[in-house]
Amino acid sequence: MAFNPSLSYFVERLSGFSTNVFRLESANKSTATSSDIISFDLPANAILNLRSFTVHFQADCNETAGAGARLPAGIEGLFERVEVIAGGITLSQGTNFYNVLRNAKDCLMGPHVNSVLGHPAIVREKSYVDGNGCTETTATGAAITTTENEGYPTANNQAQFAVDYWDGFLGSAEPRLLDSSLLPDLKVRIYMATDNVLSSSASVALTAAGFQAVGSAAGKYKLNNIYATIECVNLADATYDSMINDMLQNQGYIEVPFKSYYTFNDSHGGSTRWSVASQSVDRVWSAWRIAGYNAQLKPLVVNGYKTVGAFVSAGEITGSDLDGTGNNTAGRSIGQDMGKSQYDIGSVVGLNNNCERYIGQYFNFVEPAATALYQLQLNGANIPQAKMRSEPMYQISKNSTQGYHMEHQKSLDQYKNNFFVQAVRLNLPDSEYSRLISGLDTRAVNLQGSLNTDNVTGSPNVILFVECTASLKIGAGRAIEIIH
């Protein structure tokens, strides 16, 4: 035991293990639109790999002609809340603005979007999903034109999209292999977001502002061919059952910790207050948006990425004043506009910004003021000790995230204009990996928290997510208790 494992010769064996993946049909809907609820019953009497739970579906925006509607970057943006229920008792009530939480955490922890099935970027003209992007025309290989909506085929039960990464109970319960035979029947319930998570454009042309004006109508989305998959494992070994029975007999229950989130949405006027009673308050996340975030607007260009301005030859053309300069351009070679980076034209090393990238207004996080100062206050205790600008708050936020993450490369300019999210950690670093509950226990005290700022005007929107560790206690006879 004194030697490093790299020098040791050993192997462990687990006999009687088997695994399979099951398809779960929606218990109530095969299609869904804004504000609908879809639910899935998880397999009973099986050991569930909770992290493998995946929701598959087709999605399009073809419900309103002329909207020029686009799906959000990250298809989980269509999910407003995710609940897990056991025998009618809510294990995890989920959080409102679940889609905002997912986008906010990715700003600091790196993207967790499935690049193949997760719709990781907003489509301008020709979709990377199927090479087309428009189902409003019968043309083969059709790209989106003018105010057509983004859409994909539904034939043959196609489901081009999937959500496979979760916050809350499904993504954080430990152990990740949960024996459902110990619990009442499990159900996952997903609440759909409003149509305002979509973006809208009147044109597909690349301009100095990326997209042009908003479409002539409000876009709507629809999900089709909805189903889920989950991995179940089996252990043909009495050792596991004996271990569970011994734990129930010796301590009376089995404890399963998981993350829960409480949401506070406010028009910030210098101080945003909140209060939470929990056995462990672990982090406070704050995401800033403009006051008019909740309107369906055109997609925004992420700072530094391509806009109009760089051409390649497309052959000689004829006409007059084709470039809008007043000069006769007949016979001149006018090329295809490939766009150029907003920073150095040839892109910047490390930022990989020599491409197009857009973000929806609903998920665009913006610094509220260039001179703003930030500080949390918890029952009179200030964190950090002095109010700080956005730059040191970013470093505090990076130190507050769980584990080490390869976040999406971005500049300070991009952070302030498109990814402005802050986090403050209140528990032991990386304590989640050892199932250690070490955050603030606020059950016996009246915790009054507030986010205080200086030099912020105009009442921007701030949404606070208070991250806590809750516990599911499982007793004999499928008895359960939730400790928040």
- For the stretch 269-312, pLDDT in tens is 999 999 999 999 999 999 999 999 999 999 999 999 998 887 77
Task: Determine the average pLDDT of the residues in 58-64.
Answer: 90
Give the whole-angstrom CA distance, residue 19 versus residue 476: 26
Q: pLDDT value at position 334?
A: 59
- Strand bridging mode 449-454 / 271-274: antiparallel
Q: Which of 12-16, 117-121, 464-468 has the lowest mean pLDDT?
A: 12-16
Q: pLDDT value at position 62?
A: 86
pLDDT bin (cut points 50, 70, 90) of residue 69 is very high
Q: pLDDT value at position 384?
A: 96
Place of tokens 């701030």: 462
Between residues 216 and 431, the one the model is more confident about: 431
Q: pLDDT value at position 81?
A: 96
Tell me which H or E stretch contains 358.
strand 358-359
Q: pLDDT value at position 139?
A: 57
Q: pLDDT value at position 328?
A: 52
138 has pLDDT over 60: no
pLDDT exceeding 70 applies to what percent of the chain? 93
Q: What is the pLDDT of residues 37-54, one digit of tens each?
A: 999 999 999 999 999 999
Give the whole-angstrom CA distance, residue 29 versus residue 329: 57
Q: pLDDT value at position 278?
A: 94
Q: pLDDT value at position 409?
A: 81
Give the whole-angstrom CA distance, residue 75 versus residue 56: 11
User: ∠ CA(253), CA(257), CA(262), 5° rounding?
Assistant: 130
Which phi and psi (to 5°) does residue 245 adopt?
Answer: -65, -40
Q: pLDDT value at position 207?
A: 81
pLDDT bin (cut points 50, 70, 90) of residue 215 is confident
Q: CATH 3.20.20.450: does it fit domain 17-306+341-483? A: no
Give the whole-angstrom CA distance, residue 264 versus residue 64: 32
Cis peptide, bond prior to residue 384, ω within 30 of zero:
yes
Task: Give, in order, the Cα–Cα distances in Å from 112 to each of 57, 59, 103, 223, 470.
Answer: 18, 20, 9, 21, 23
Task: Determine the average pLDDT of the residues in 336-348.
Answer: 83
Cβ proximity of 47 and 232 under 8 Å:
yes
Q: pLDDT value at position 208?
A: 78
Q: How many residues does the chain have?
A: 484
Q: What is the pLDDT of residues 469-484, one digit of tens each?
A: 999 999 999 999 999 8
A 10 A CB-CB count for 382 gives 12
Q: Which of 462, 410, 406, 468 is nearest to 437 (CA)?
A: 468
Q: pLDDT value at position 5?
A: 75
pLDDT exceeding 90 applies to what percent of the chain? 64
Cis peptide, bond prior to residue 43, ω within 30 of zero:
no
Between residues 68 and 318, the one the model is more confident about: 68
Q: pLDDT value at position 330?
A: 52
Counting other chains too, the contacts that 237-245 makes at CB distance below 8 Å and 24 or more residues apart are 237/14, 237/15, 237/16, 237/17, 244/179, 244/182
Task: Determine the average pLDDT of the residues in 324-334.
Answer: 53
End-to-end CA gap in the chain: 39
Place of tokens 């030859």: 313
Q: Which of 291, 255, 262, 288 is nearest to 277 (CA)?
A: 262
Task: Give, in order, the Cα–Cα distances in Å from 255 to each of 1, 83, 175, 278, 471.
Answer: 30, 19, 10, 16, 6
Q: pLDDT value at position 323?
A: 52
Report domain extents, the chain: 17-306+341-483
Task: Determine the average pLDDT of the residues in 335-347.
Answer: 82
Cβ proximity of 15 and 202 under 8 Å:
no
pLDDT bin (cut points 50, 70, 90) of residue 332 is low
pLDDT bin (cut points 50, 70, 90) of residue 212 is confident
Q: pLDDT value at position 162?
A: 98
Q: Which of 20-24, 65-69, 386-390 has the lowest mean pLDDT?
A: 65-69
Q: pLDDT value at position 2?
A: 67
Q: pLDDT value at position 315?
A: 58
pLDDT bin (cut points 50, 70, 90) of residue 64 is confident
Q: What is the mean pLDDT of the chain?
A: 89
326 has pLDDT over 70: no
Q: What is the pLDDT of residues 81-114, one digit of tens each?
A: 999 999 888 888 778 999 999 999 999 998 899 9
User: ∠ CA(340), CA(346), CA(352), 5° rounding?
Assistant: 90
367 has pLDDT over 90: yes
Q: pLDDT value at position 414?
A: 95
Q: pLDDT value at position 102?
A: 96
1 has pLDDT over 80: no
Residues 6+ apart with CB under 8 A from 353: 304, 305, 306, 341, 342, 343, 347
Cβ proximity of 484 and 277 under 8 Å:
yes
The structure tokens listed for 448 are 């009054």
Q: How many DSSP H helices and E strands does the chain contain? A: 5, 25
Task: Determine the average pLDDT of the residues in 144-161.
Answer: 92
Backbone CA torsion sign across 286, 287, 290, 292: negative
User: ∠ CA(252), CA(254), CA(256), 5° rounding?
Assistant: 150
Q: pLDDT value at position 36?
A: 96
H helix intervals, 157-310: 169-172, 238-251
Task: Determine the average pLDDT of the residues in 451-458.
Answer: 95
SS (H, E, C) 43-76: CCCCEEEEEEEEEEEEEECCCCCCCCEECCCCHH
Q: pLDDT value at position 118?
A: 96
Cβ proximity of 240 and 209 under 8 Å:
no
